[in-house]
Structure 1
């Protein structure tokens, strides 16, 4: 029963005593004879270089003195989390074990084995994938999350403490708070001997004042808090409940739990927090740390990163397939961040792994259910561990697990499978989907996929007849983004050495994820002739990342049916360099600018082109997305770039787009190519609601005087050059020959001094090089056989010795791991605005092919444009010149002829620069 409000009893000073066991323990890995010291909490992979990739069993031990005043009390040992299987002994006597790497457990130490001085020993097993050695729990069938990506994590990785308590005690308190009524229900898990004991609860408000109290003798208590203050990211109002257990009017145990009043729900395709529209501005957080890997270094560290998240404009973090240290949620509650949390995935679906995932989820809800910051759960990420595309049983299990979890915790949203191509949802509160495309390389694809998604694409749900799709699930792009690169100098250890992870990643992305030696590769490719120095390259890579995120966010915000997104990711994780912060939580160069595009109200400026000639009219489609905010009556949007303009905005509610329409902007006159920045702002009663910028590559009008003569066997190329103002002549008489590909006659002409410009855009079939024929001299070679197999021909062997490879289907395609494409701004290319990395102004001509066959020394001069992937790997070429006999060749994969001649300033400027380069060569 529940009694009326009464004051709490004074707390007994000896209700429960605690002793931390964090600190140095002795440690010995299997097969080792000697003990060594290890810090607890930590994983052995972070402590010992020789165990960085070690699976197996380790032993921990340490001593403790039992305080005299703890005599006659029940002594229990509490572990925050141990990965994966723990067996615990005290003074040589086993006291229990625990399976599961992410959740807390406690064991009672029998008083009969305790002494004044005691020794704890913990055997910890992290199983490998060898099912013959670990038949009970092979790695593939346990929840392990990203350990399969960044390396194993074994050991006592969360805090350990010793407690002295009464046999009558509170084991756990579950809190359910109702925002509409102020009612709070406490469901208590009490020890067996606490049956019939009196329980009291006192609830204190955000200001520390007593709000409500109750007492009773059962396992359920309820109170009503008057004038409830809702918890939200903008106002993280927290309440505290002090719960006491008393026997014979004496308090024998106490505990406290914090909670908040908030609701999260979906209606009509939108998210609502506390009844108000919510636009989710999130980042994926893998919860990895510089030195402790999975163990956060301190509470202050967690607080600092949370403040940085909010400074970036984030209102949500998606904890990626991992269960964090509970302090993570404490910080989110206090500072005000929404959290979306996931079950760590398995690799192989079986009855045992399915049971473990549900047990883990049940433990997560039990441990973390009181946190108002947590608003959503994910059961499966990207079909990892399940095979829902092909297995109907897995789809049924997923739908059933959704129902089970909604029953277990009806206060939060559930995503059944946070999906990506080619998997999907079966039954979910959220229609969330992942896709990655880089800009400018895949701009059109990003636009198209986003449009399809916003229009309710059928591919987001099972098409196999078993989808339970209501059609009004909120649309969230729950993973997107692209790599930048951190500054390696900010990642070094105190002694100046590299962190261990700089030599990991070689098995990911065909080797492009390997960080070690990045500066050496930068120098070897002579990129210091492209960028001022290595630091300038890193800065450019980070601005490239910002430009990608900016564009993609603006495209999503233009579709009001999309009500949220999750950026990949909050921080870099080891070799994975796509964070808004690096792994040490150092900000990117764009840190202070990011909130302007990552906020509720966002200005969207969509020009008909990102390049323009001086004096032209540029048409810009202007609109403003509101997110969880609104635009009041009388607001205006203003732009300035030397010529100012302003238009009224319609009054607009939340999660909508206020359209301004097409605004013609007169481009200023200029004699020098340059980047033009158009600044935009939304104003209401003198208050600035939003700002943004639009960068346009502004080109001076072309000078058509004294252009060299052009010859081409291709009528379309002749017409293209002629339209650009080049005089057209006959082959053999022209100064420059123009082609899409070469044959033997072209090579012969170059031997005698001819100059060629090849637009190798893939429009003419070749032999994966620049040749559309096969030299007669290769005939005998091609007819040779070994074991009846044709011998291959190197794609860079035929003159001019340049291979041509389509980017589609390769890492040069440019998606998640960035392709850093550059043009050296020297010589004829010096007048190109921006750079050296490509920006949106190149989107109409961006190459779909790359060239190979160039040695590193050639990057110092003959290579004028190229790209590297990730940590400066897999160099390829997009513009280069090469001597052939007495002649000269300039070749490019830029699609200069893919747009009508003269309509795109970038295409024309590149064409002019390459003609000038080949014509000037001697």
Structure 2
């Protein structure tokens, strides 16, 4: 098939579009229903959302009289997965492969004035007995294993009248250095005795070259080349004419561009200039059509939104898009990184299919200047690199095969994540997810190691072909926000079907349906103003994560790019910069400040300070593909203003302004302080960013309740921050990390406890260090369950304690939304209700369970929910025990030196004040 689009072909060939309404029949049903083409049946029919199997598509078409006796071809953009094509009941041909184009010449004697076209489509399941020739696990399928299968005719169908000899395919090689363009034509038949002519039109519409050849190869040289880039997406058009005896018999057009994309010396270069990759992962899924884009205009709109967000690259994730996707990227200026759809099981057949797919991608899309890189395997999906030497050898061999096939683009052998790795690659790209503030330290350490050339990115098994100068790219990172469900409703007010998917992912936390009911059930309207305020808060949480993580990466010039997960939400997966309908997040306008070539990085010595203190802030400016010219100035403003000269820095550099000592204004109340930074060059602002700090009023340690504790370290901590110490009988509050039966007895008699359940004391997965006497006999009786967790409902105080590590409460890719209700003694904690970076020293490593939903309306002061508001857990809560009471928290209030962290002190004060009021 030629690489040009149908509109361009139409100038040389007559075509009839066969898109529209077809008859459709699925499986063993005798019933026919109406179906749209292009579309997948999962998008159209509620009863077939997850259906594998066999379907029939049928329609009629009229053959124009002038086509009688002429060569007629059927062209399919893509059919998933196996297609059998019949015209008037007679088999025309078959095709295997779900993502790429194919065509058939319809024999003359098959055709009539009125014709019936039937396409039988098989989407195989994983049942190898039913589909032995191509079980689902052995075919390239990409994210169908995540979001559901895709079956049917999902790209356009065209009927075309062509000559006996016609141009089947055009391969274009454009050399930026010389201006030479080579065209290799594949012709139907022997192609002998024909003349080919190419006329090249530049981006301004001017013909700049015309050459002819009696063979199938042509070469033209163009002067004054305009290179293609995201800023100047210069496209050339080649009009090709095939002639016989001086008479044109076929013509087609193809667009191309001049550009180079290289990896050398640890850097990326576009057209010889340093290039910093600011990318997002794009799964190429759509609101209604799933894999079929609704229109060219829709693709253009989302490309413009990508650029408005500061993105210069999209990584098409293990999927081959509609060809219009690349046409838009070429025209509007987006760099594209494309991947082979993965298989599940590596076999000889699946390995062959992956290579065939890659060859088909290159054949269809190789002329697009926007495409600069390929991925063979994503995250070891389908291969088992850690344990299988054969798979590692195949991967290295496939890298060599692909580089020989296409030396003009970069190749990632395996876009890796823990615990897999690269074997042989042009790029050292790696994925890791850590949310902040929950796991800020881990993000910092991973990024530091990666930037330093960590050995864990390549095979340690003796077969790594690692040069050491491959560019470092964090090719997946990010965290969930949540879309506004009201913006996703269908025209009739109902939910899209995908809101009832995702229940099998992440221990159920990825299930969207019912989110607002869960919000109300957990009484979160007492934490957030309303549901809309909650959605807005979690989107800002997503922004804060991305901002922090980008700034950390940008502080290491050895890292030359990143890929945000992801460009848009995909069904239940809610980590997009846009939602499924391409609505922007609340941070859309401010995001380009950090997603740019020039980024101001302000790293404070602490994220929370006392009013009147001096805050050290280390400031630098990362240049990416830009530069800091001589004479640039860094300015900052808040209650104070200042400026400092910036040293000049070239691309992929870091201009260090040094450490600023910023006086924090006096304040009688706790508040959030925003410090704005700006880089000025020649009187023009070329970069801006901000830093948010929590400021706490100077604490007056007066009228504090008295405390006691059997834990000397806890007692010393409280005394150091001003709490009076009393004997156990006279103390207002007892402090503990965990409880035993003596503590329960004291509470039964009226004592009040603050339990800092931070995991520093071993318990039985609850707040208890002992097992109540009344439960021992039962536990000893059931011999095989002696290690069972203590039943939290059967013993006091009825609170479970679970370590977040190893659970969905860990805080990685699917976000944990942790909150503190800013009411009562907690009202003065600045920010919120969600935790921000100022909580990084106290953020809990454990959560508490055992609380009913009604308790979230009052006794629960702090908690966490995951994903689409699932798995609620508690971080601060009260409970009555006998005549006494306790307040338990998992915040790590004593992890820093006493008084050194204002957040820890403020939380301690709020908790003691709360429990001291209980009678």
TM-score (norm 1): 0.98
Contact 1:478–1:565 (CA under 8 A) maintained in structure 2: yes
Matching residue of 1:782? 779
Secondary structure at the aligned position of 1:595 is classed as helix
Contact 1:784–1:790 (CA under 8 A) maintained in structure 2: no
Contact 2:754–2:911 (CA under 8 A) maintained in structure 1: yes
Matching residue of 1:102? 99
Q: 269, 276, 289: which one pairs with 2:266?
A: 269
Contact 2:229–2:259 (CA under 8 A) maintained in structure 1: yes
Matching residue of 2:830? 833
Matching residue of 2:235? 238
Q: Equivalences for 1:601-616 in 2 at 5 Å?
A: 601-616=598-613
Q: 42, 47, 63: which one pairs with 2:39?
A: 42
Cα distance change of structure 1 residues 184 and 62 upon mapping to structure 2, 3 Å threshold: same
Matching residue of 1:713? 710
Mapped to 2, the partners of 1:556 and 1:793 lie a distance apart of: 44
Matching residue of 1:553? 550
Secondary structure at the aligned position of 1:306 is classed as helix
Mapped to 2, the partners of 1:531 and 1:234 lie a distance apart of: 42
Matching residue of 1:673? 670
Mapped to 2, the partners of 1:59 and 1:910 lie a distance apart of: 65
1:818 is aligned to 2:815: yes
Structure 1, 12-21 or 861-870: larger mean CA deviation: 12-21
Cα distance change of structure 1 residues 606 and 87 upon mapping to structure 2, 3 Å threshold: same
Secondary structure at the aligned position of 2:830 is classed as coil
Q: Offset of 1:792 from its aligned partner?
A: 5.4
Contact 2:308–2:592 (CA under 8 A) maintained in structure 1: yes
Matching residue of 2:217? 220
Matching residue of 1:436? 433
Mapped to 2, the partners of 1:698 and 1:775 lie a distance apart of: 45
Mapped to 2, the partners of 1:173 and 1:196 lie a distance apart of: 18
Contact 1:784–1:791 (CA under 8 A) maintained in structure 2: no
Q: 196, 200, 203: which one pairs with 1:206?
A: 203
Structure 1, 795-804 or 677-686: larger mean CA deviation: 795-804
Matching residue of 1:883? 880
Matching residue of 1:519? 516
Mapped to 2, the partners of 1:632 and 1:62 lie a distance apart of: 64
TM-score (norm 2): 0.98
> Deviations 1:763-785 (Å, cap 9, x if unpaired)?
01111111111111112222222
Mapped to 2, the partners of 1:873 and 1:560 lie a distance apart of: 39
Q: Offset of 1:660 from its aligned partner?
A: 1.2
1:627 is aligned to 2:654: no
Q: 284, 287, 292: which one pairs with 2:284?
A: 287
Q: 124, 144, 154: which one pairs with 2:121?
A: 124
Matching residue of 2:490? 493
Contact 1:15–1:251 (CA under 8 A) maintained in structure 2: no
Mapped to 1, the partners of 2:762 and 2:703 lie a distance apart of: 34
1:297 is aligned to 2:294: yes
Q: 447, 457, 460: which one pairs with 1:460?
A: 457
Aligned length, in residue pairs = 912
> Deviations 1:539-569 (Å, cap 9, x if unpaired)?
0000000000000000000000000000000
Mapped to 2, the partners of 1:857 and 1:204 lie a distance apart of: 71
Matching residue of 2:174? 177
1:323 is aligned to 2:332: no
Mapped to 1, the partners of 2:465 and 2:645 lie a distance apart of: 43
Mapped to 2, the partners of 1:72 and 1:777 lie a distance apart of: 94
Secondary structure at the aligned position of 1:162 is classed as strand
> Deviations 1:38-95 (Å, cap 9, x if unpaired)?
0000000000000111000000110000011112321000000000000000011101
Q: Offset of 1:793 from its aligned partner?
A: 3.0
> Deviations 1:646-673 (Å, cap 9, x if unpaired)?
1111110000111111111100000010
Contact 1:61–1:121 (CA under 8 A) maintained in structure 2: yes
Matching residue of 1:5? none
Mapped to 2, the partners of 1:792 and 1:443 lie a distance apart of: 31
> Deviations 1:334-357 (Å, cap 9, x if unpaired)?
000000000000000000000000
Matching residue of 2:647? 650
Mapped to 1, the partners of 2:894 and 2:294 lie a distance apart of: 56
Matching residue of 2:334? 337
Contact 1:785–1:791 (CA under 8 A) maintained in structure 2: no
Q: 60, 64, 70: which one pairs with 1:73?
A: 70
Q: Offset of 1:745 from its aligned partner?
A: 1.1
Mapped to 1, the partners of 2:854 and 2:180 lie a distance apart of: 73
Matching residue of 1:8? none
Q: Offset of 1:144 from its aligned partner?
A: 0.2
Mapped to 1, the partners of 2:66 and 2:627 lie a distance apart of: 61
Q: Offset of 1:189 from its aligned partner?
A: 0.4
Contact 1:796–1:852 (CA under 8 A) maintained in structure 2: no
Matching residue of 1:4? none
Mapped to 1, the partners of 2:605 and 2:759 lie a distance apart of: 26
Mapped to 2, the partners of 1:43 and 1:791 lie a distance apart of: 49
> Deviations 1:103-126 (Å, cap 9, x if unpaired)?
000000001111000010000000
1:563 is aligned to 2:552: no
Structure 1, 11-20 or 628-637: larger mean CA deviation: 11-20
- Gaps spanning 5+ residues in structure 2: where? 1-7
Mapped to 2, the partners of 1:73 and 1:483 lie a distance apart of: 56
Contact 1:321–1:345 (CA under 8 A) maintained in structure 2: yes
Contact 1:176–1:184 (CA under 8 A) maintained in structure 2: yes
Q: 131, 135, 157: which one pairs with 2:132?
A: 135
> Deviations 1:233-260 (Å, cap 9, x if unpaired)?
0000000000000112111100000000
Secondary structure at the aligned position of 1:592 is classed as coil
Mapped to 1, the partners of 2:434 and 2:9 lie a distance apart of: 60
Matching residue of 1:160? 157
> Deviations 1:516-548 (Å, cap 9, x if unpaired)?
000000000000000000000000000000000
> Deviations 1:676-708 (Å, cap 9, x if unpaired)?
000001110111111100000010011211111
Mapped to 1, the partners of 2:643 and 2:308 lie a distance apart of: 29
Secondary structure at the aligned position of 1:221 is classed as strand
> Deviations 1:740-789 (Å, cap 9, x if unpaired)?
11111111111111110010000011111111111111122222227787
Matching residue of 1:361? 358
RMSD: 1.1
- Gaps spanning 5+ residues in structure 1: where? 1-10
Q: Offset of 1:493 from its aligned partner?
A: 0.4
1:906 is aligned to 2:903: yes
Matching residue of 1:687? 684
Q: Equivalences for 1:387-426 in 2 at 5 Å?
A: 387-426=384-423
Structure 1, 736-745 or 444-453: larger mean CA deviation: 736-745
